Amino acid sequence: MSFFGRIKDGLRKTRDAIFGRIDAMLKSFTKIDDELFEELEELLVMGDVGVYTAERICDELKSRVKKEGITDPKEINRLLAEVISEMLKGGQPLKIDTKPSVILVIGVNGVGKTTTIGKMAANFTHQGKKVTLAAADTFRAAAIDQLQIWADRANADIIKQGEGADPAAVVFDAISSAKAKGSDIIIVDTAGRLHNKKNLMAELEKINRIINRELPDSDKEVLLVLDATTGQNAVNQTKEFKNAAGITGIVLTKLDGTAKGGVVLAIKEELNVPVKYIGVGEQIDDLQPFDPDVFARALFGADDYVEEVEEVKEEITEKPIAEEDEELKPATADIWAEIDAQAEAERLAEEEKEKSKTEEEILAEEQAKAAAEAEKAEEKKKRAEERKNRAKKYNWSTEQTETTAADDDWFEQWKQGKITEE
């Protein structure tokens, strides 16, 4: 499967649960109005994009709709993909230009830190880089054994000590070994920790002091590994670790197992922390550098056609091309231009189809749309009444910006299907 195909398949739950609903909602509208943006914002919030980010997205969409003079609701999908891609750009590539460079990996227990490190090591060794792993999670013997297995798979060196050893001492030995062997990258595994555990955060500071002392001029990345299935809780973790540990980027794992992929947007927009890698499966090559364009197109783009193009690109890049045939290798810009051309052709075909409709067909469509809008208006009225009842029950303020415990409890139950809003 192509790179695009793996991303698209990994984001299937998010696409179907949230962005599939957005597509269906847009198709139910015949014009672009405030009601459309209200429903879009609500669907984005449900997708763990976050209230602030959802508002920013809708404001930007309104601005572009006005600027480009767009009247067809179907065009919102294209604009939404563009806005999301632009919001996510910035800071993706790892800054690991020195030899050696250090990647310090942190996070709470159970998010997949050790597995992420193993996959990253395999990625780097595949690129021809020499990697040293530091098994600084000395709280669990199993963590050291697990990292050893990944080191063997990735053909990477590993420096380890026994359970209960000083993690900073392990890092010191790893740096010494990397210098002696000429390693390009040192990846440090650390024990799972919460930001408010003073002893563990002090241990992290000690590790940082060792790195800064032994490699003062080396590039260093501090990556926080997050479980995408935790939704908005991942945003809270990022905020706390950003303040406590100075993280430089995020690795978001388990995107293939959740419909909460929208949290990527919330992390980047609200906290300005770039997503460096995403995990979309269990295979060793399912941890991929984060590409905002590919991510957005996997959610909204011309999926099947893009995948075919990506597969052709992979075949082309894998086969040696003679110098005289170099002009036959398509540029990325030409490929996306071809996709846009196909989309334009489909739009023109749709316009021709509209022109050829009979008066009876047009009348039937208008009646169906009117019935759908009436039904939607009734549903909206019901939802408004539901919100009013909930506000009365929980004593919410209509201008309240921060959720209460009762609010959080209601939404959690609603997400789990224990409460039906509509």
Q: What pLDDT tens digit does each residue of the chain (422 aa) get? A: 555 555 666 566 666 667 778 888 888 888 888 888 888 888 888 877 778 888 888 999 999 898 888 888 888 888 888 888 888 887 778 888 899 999 999 888 778 888 889 888 988 998 899 999 998 888 877 888 888 888 888 889 999 888 888 888 999 999 999 999 999 999 998 887 665 667 777 888 888 889 999 999 999 999 988 887 777 777 777 877 877 778 888 888 877 655 566 777 888 877 888 888 888 777 777 788 888 887 777 776 444 434 444 444 444 444 443 443 444 444 545 555 665 666 677 677 777 776 776 777 777 777 877 887 787 777 777 766 766 776 666 555 444 434 444 445 555 555 555 555 44
Using a 10 angstrom Cβ sphere, with 0-12 exposed, 13-18 middle and 19 or more buried, the burial of residue 323 is exposed
Helix axes 3-10, 303-318, angle to 10 degrees: 150
The closest of 252, 283, 310 to 4, measured between CA atoms, is: 310
Task: Specify the residue for token string 């540029």.
Answer: 331
Distances (CA, A) of 393 to 54, 111, 245, 420: 26, 37, 41, 16
Tell me if 211 sits within 8 A of 102, measured CB to CB: yes
Please list the alpha-helical segments (H only) found in 100-225: 113-126, 141-154, 167-181, 198-214
d(CA 340, CA 351): 17
Tell me if 258 sits within 8 A of 228, measured CB to CB: yes
- Spatial strand order of the sheet with 275-279 comes to 157-159, 131-135, 185-189, 101-106, 220-227, 249-253, 275-279, 287-289
Residues β-bridged to residue 131: 185
d(CA 136, CA 144): 8
d(CA 354, CA 119): 51
Residues 332, 338, 340, 343, CA torsion sign: negative
Question: Does pTM surpass 0.85?
Answer: no
Tell me if 247 sits within 8 A of 238, measured CB to CB: yes
Distances (CA, A) of 142 to 103, 192, 275: 21, 13, 28
Helix axes 167-181, 198-214, angle to 10 degrees: 20
